[in-house]
């Protein structure tokens, strides 16, 4: 059975994510222990709240370097602020540094007439490459659940795995080799979200 380290650094919706992963067949360790993280088959990197607090929580738990290393040597799924933390910098709090695994910036949604920020609720996700194994058995333009005020803008557009529209077209998933990340919350996205988590558990790199 696939053993997944669900990173606990005080900034994730860990209970629902753990239950969803267990539901699709994984054994889950909710942990900030670098040894357990290193021993896991795969890693899920969740995050909610402010970027600065997210990065500080990782540094306090001593797992920021573990994540940087894992991003290049085992399957990783990053969710919401976990995805945003993979980039270099966020506009949040007047500017905040992130992990810098990918070049790019995290930007706040502009104030469009009639659109509330945060972007909250269900929205269609358009897959850039439906042949990616993480999209197996998920219909094109399936709906997923979002809660966020900021979105990622990677410098390399080849990283974009999916996009979504909320006043503007924005990147909602990125991928590179063994890493996949989503702005939406698969653990809150019912059938499509559970399928994506199942795909991650079964993903062969």
User: DSSP code of 107?
Assistant: E
Residue 187 appears among annotated catalytic residues: yes
Of the residues 54, 80, 164, 171, only one is catalytic, namely 80
Of the residues 119, 148, 175, 185, only one is catalytic, namely 185
What is the longest distance spanned by two Cα atoms in the chain? 49
Residue 65 appears among annotated catalytic residues: no
Distance CA 169, CA 6 (A): 30
Beta pairing, strands 160-165 & 126-127? antiparallel
Beta pairing, strands 42-45 & 76-79? parallel
The dihedral over CA atoms of 77, 78, 83, 89, expressed in degrees to the nearest 10, equals: -100
Of the residues 54, 171, 175, 187, only one is catalytic, namely 187
CB proximity list for 157: less than 8 A, separation 6 or greater = none
DSSP annotation string for 112-150: -TT--SSEEEEEE-EES-TTSGGGTT--TT-EEEEEESE
Residue 54 appears among annotated catalytic residues: no
Catalytic annotation, residues: 80, 185, 187
């Amino acid at each position: 059975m696939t053993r997944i380290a669900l990173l606990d650094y005080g900034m994730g919706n860990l209970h629902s994510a753990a239950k969803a992963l267990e539901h699709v067949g994984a054994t889950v360790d909710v942990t900030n222990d670098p040894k357990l993280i290193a021993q896991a088959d795969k890693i899920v990197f969740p995050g909610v709240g402010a970027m600065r607090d997210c990065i500080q929580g990782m540094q306090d738990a001593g797992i920021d370097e573990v994540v940087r290393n894992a991003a290049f040597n085992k399957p990783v799924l990053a969710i919401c602020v976990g995805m945003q933390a993979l980039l270099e910098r966020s506009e949040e709090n007047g500017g905040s540094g992130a992990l810098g695994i990918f070049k790019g910036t995290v930007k706040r949604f502009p104030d469009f007439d009639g659109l509330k920020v945060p972007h909250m609720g269900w929205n269609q996700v358009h897959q850039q490459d439906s042949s990616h194994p993480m999209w197996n058995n998920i219909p094109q333009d399936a709906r997923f659940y979002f809660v966020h005020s900021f979105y990622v803008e990677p410098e390399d557009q080849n990283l974009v795995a999916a996009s979504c529209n909320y006043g503007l077209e924005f990147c909602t998933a990125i991928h590179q080799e063994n890493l996949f990340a989503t702005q939406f919350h698969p653990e809150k996205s019912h059938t499509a979200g559970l399928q994506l988590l199942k795909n991650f558990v079964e993903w062969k790199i």
